[in-house]
Structure 1
Amino acid sequence: MNLLLAEDDALLADALSAELRTAGFAVEHAPNGAVAEYLLLKHGFDLVVLDLGLPMVDGLTVLKRVRAAGRTMPVLVLTALDSLDDRVATLNAGADDYLTKPFDFPELEARLHALLRRSRAGAGGATAGAAGGPGAATTLGRLVFDRDTRRATVRGEPLELSPREWQLLDLLLGQRDRVVTKDQIGQAWALDGGEAVAGGSIEVYIHRLRRKLEQSGLVIRTVRGLGYLLELEA
């Protein structure tokens, strides 16, 4: 697996690169945000480990620009900040997971493998509660959702989704007109053996997905105390 490590601390970068290579990753190192952005826009990576406190261009800006350019590879953010606002800002910018410093390498490795499994499951359409059968594309409102090709469009324009956003939309489509609880969402995300997700993080992903579906003719309605409901706009 090709992995980009964006980390400005040379000692930490060297240690992480050695550990990651031992774990089977092909690692390329970016010492600052400008280099990280260039590499992510010019080359394909299966995974990204992105420090937020990068010089030249900070990690959050790099993440926003890369997502705006349509890059959907899983991104794990490293940060020394762990407030709710910081976590929400990171997830809203397009991160798939985050890990606070200091951390133990086994946890980082486990999270990276979980991100890979989620990404592969989304690419192959192997998620719970899927809409439609094999080879079938689901059309609802102005959304076309094709599980086999892992392609979604709204009004013919590609809908860029992170692996977790893809799984969430797949689950909501499969349960259309039925309430999907936070427990169901957490279980669907955990099918690949990934980390448990806090309810607050689910709300962030729901918010992000709502914004991306604004032109689709679909709405995700919050059913207080129960969960979420995908339905056509009235």
Structure 2
Amino acid sequence: MKLLLIEDELWLLNNLQSQLEQAGFIVDTAPDGEQAAYLINEYKYDLIVLDLGLPKKPGLVLLEEIRESKNATPVLILTARNSWQERVEGLKKGADDYLGKPFHFEELLARIEVLLKRPRTRVDDILQVGSFTLDLNTRELTTDNAVHKLTKTEFGLARLMMSEPNKVFAKDTLLQQVTDQNYDRESNVIEVYISKLRQYFGKSSIETLRGQGYRLVAPKSKGDTE
């Protein structure tokens, strides 16, 4: 699972990132609202941990922008214990849960796990590209011939490419989807997983554009005509 941790207190940011990674998560970080907004627009996350007291762009403003863009990623807000007004405002603007500071890491982890397990029934939890469909809850990819249960890494890449079919994704962008911000640009992990996804989608469905990256070519739906 890939998380975005947004916190301006660097000691807390670094500490939480280390603990969350030890718990098995891939964690990107942002120390201010503007960098967070950039990351949210560029990458897909399974959950966002959002501090409200951010420089450059306040947390509540960022939260409002997330929801106005129809982004349904679960958001757990962090706020000072005595700021109950902010908690209420955050929930009204679309936060899924909140945690007051100071807090124990075990409670943060428990709340994250609960949100990640929470069932969703929105229509936008199904991605469809031509004859391909991806269930965002079960991580099942349905193609013309079969249903494939994807691994976490396969799912992350498939979801990104199916969100914007025909868009060319640079290797760095795809690599960032399955690793943290300190990824190794020389790694061949993307080539390995692209090869695996081609077994599901079909070899011709994912194109390699030399020097540019990869793209998923949207197939025709069964009911489409020439």
Give the structure-1-normalised TM-score.
Answer: 0.51
Q: Distance in 2 between matches of 1:13 and 1:2?
A: 16
Deviation at 1:93, TM superposition (A): 1.0
Q: Distance in 2 between matches of 1:148 and 1:18?
A: 30
1:30-61 alpha-carbon deviations (Å, 9 max, x no partner): 01000001111221000100000010001110
Secondary structure of 1:90's counterpart equals helix
Runs of 5+ consecutive residues of structure 2 not aligned to the other structure: 129-136, 138-226
Equivalences, count: 129
Q: Distance in 2 between matches of 1:2 and 1:45?
A: 5
Letter of the aligned partner of 1:24 in structure 2?
G
Q: Distance in 1 between matches of 2:13 and 2:102?
A: 13
- The residue that corresponds to 1:101 in the other structure is 101
Letter of the aligned partner of 1:17 in structure 2?
Q
Q: Distance in 2 between matches of 1:148 and 1:43?
A: 17
1:34 aligns with 2:28: no
Secondary structure of 1:44's counterpart equals coil
1:48 aligns with 2:86: no
Q: Distance in 2 between matches of 1:69 and 1:146?
A: 16
Paired residues of 2:52 and 2:59 also in contact (CA < 8 A):
yes
1:66 aligns with 2:69: no
Q: Cα RMSD over matched residues?
A: 2.3
Kindly report which structure 2 residues correspond to 1:168-207, keeping only aligned pairs within 5 A, or say none.
none
Q: Distance in 1 between matches of 2:97 and 2:5?
A: 15
Give the structure-2-normalised TM-score.
Answer: 0.53
Structure with larger Rg: 2
Deviation at 1:3, TM superposition (A): 0.3
- The residue that corresponds to 1:88 in the other structure is 88
Secondary structure of 2:8's counterpart equals coil
Q: Distance in 2 between matches of 1:58 and 1:12?
A: 18
Runs of 5+ consecutive residues of structure 1 not aligned to the other structure: 126-144, 152-162, 164-234
Letter of the aligned partner of 1:38 in structure 2?
Y
- The residue that corresponds to 1:193 in the other structure is none
1:77-105 alpha-carbon deviations (Å, 9 max, x no partner): 00005454322211011100000000000
Q: Distance in 2 between matches of 1:148 and 1:24?
A: 24
Q: Distance in 2 between matches of 1:149 and 1:12?
A: 35
- The residue that corresponds to 2:9 in the other structure is 9
Q: Name the CA shift for 1:148/1:72 in 2 (closer, same or farther; >3 Å).
A: closer
Paired residues of 2:5 and 2:29 also in contact (CA < 8 A):
yes
